[in-house]
Amino acid sequence: MDAVSDGGVFIVGCGYVGQAVALRLRARGRPVAALTRNPATAAALEAAGIPTTIAELSGESWHSGVPGGITAVVNCVSAGGGGVEGYRRSYVQGMRSLLQWSRGRPELRTVVYTGSTSVYPGSGGAALDETAPVGGGERAQLLLEAERLLLDEPAGFRAFVLRLAGIYGPDRDHLARQVRAGAVSGRPDVHLNLIHRDDAAAAIEAALQASPGVPGGIFNLADEGAATRGEVVAWLAARWGLPPPVFTGEEGPRREGPAPDRIIRSTRARDLLGWQPRYADFRAGYAAFVSP
């Protein structure tokens, strides 16, 4: 029997991806409980039959309220603003709190954590797998610290770190809105590694269901497109019959330095987890929710 079907799943950080995972598992009949700091999200999850606690993961108030029978945890927490300190609170302190709660629970067999491919500096369009050098600014270092805390935890559960590329999908179409406005941040020649929200949720489910012989560890998650920002922008503009927008050359406020130019490879997730993205590249992904 797989890791999901014989026990409950506790999802912490039910934001854009976490909420999708919760609803996906619930629709399949899995016992699911959730934690979020957003009251509106909590109300939506409760309406779907998912018991939900409103709390900060980094605190301890939620520890005593987790339902019994939990055999797997998914940590999809996001920084939620607040700059570097927001990263520290959500990722590092949040992971510490989660691991503190997990101790003394031998029934817990799987923990899945969604990190980020932003930990790979990369340059020159190099293709990178999980063995590539990592590093970067303060935010990247905090993401890596959260990973290490999980992977170094001397516990009986199997830990998966899923490093997600840039997440997009319904209601997360920042680049598309920039194209419509006629001005796009960044440079056109930099590769834009992407993953659709639903493909990220499917990969999380694949990790939860992985057979006992599949090792945990680090897995990259990105589509197969390996497209540049310019290619994505040109396709979107052509889809709407718009003139090519101007590139500002300036990065967004959360970017630490120039955007890295690299191609993220997800071969390990495909080979070991059996995961295949439904939206193989940005064209399929955007076409699913962006009207012509």
**Tens digit of each residue's pLDDT (9 = 90 or more) over 200-227:** 999 999 999 999 999 999 999 999 988 9
Total domains in the fold of the chain: 1
Give me the pLDDT at residue 3, please: 42
**Domain membership flag for residue 133:** yes
**Which range of residues forms the domain containing residue 76?**
8-170+196-224+264-278
Interval 126-184: pLDDT, tens: 999 999 999 999 999 999 999 999 999 998 999 999 999 999 999 999 999 999 999 99
For position 251, what pLDDT does the model report?
78
Q: Is residue 247 part of a domain?
A: no
CATH of the domain at 132: 3.40.50.720
pLDDT value for 252: 66
Q: What is the 3-state secondary structure (H, E, C) of the chain?
A: CCCCCCCEEEEECCCHHHHHHHHHHHHCCCCEEEEECCHHHHHHHHHCCCCEEECCCCCCCCHHHCCCCEEEEEECCCCCCCHHHHHHHHHHHHHHHHHHHHCCCCCCCEEEEEEEHHHCCCCCCEEECCCCCCCCCHHHHHHHHHHHHHHCCCCCCEEEEEEECEEEECCECHHHHHHHHCEECCCCCCECCEEEHHHHHHHHHHHHCCCCCCCCEEEEECCCCCCEHHHHHHHHHHHHCCCCCEECCCCCCCCCCCCCCEEECCHHHHHHHCCCCCCCCHHHHHHCCCCC
pTM over 0.85: yes
Which residues in the chain land under pLDDT 50? 1-5
Domain-located, residue 157: yes
> Is residue 212 a part of any domain in this protein?
yes
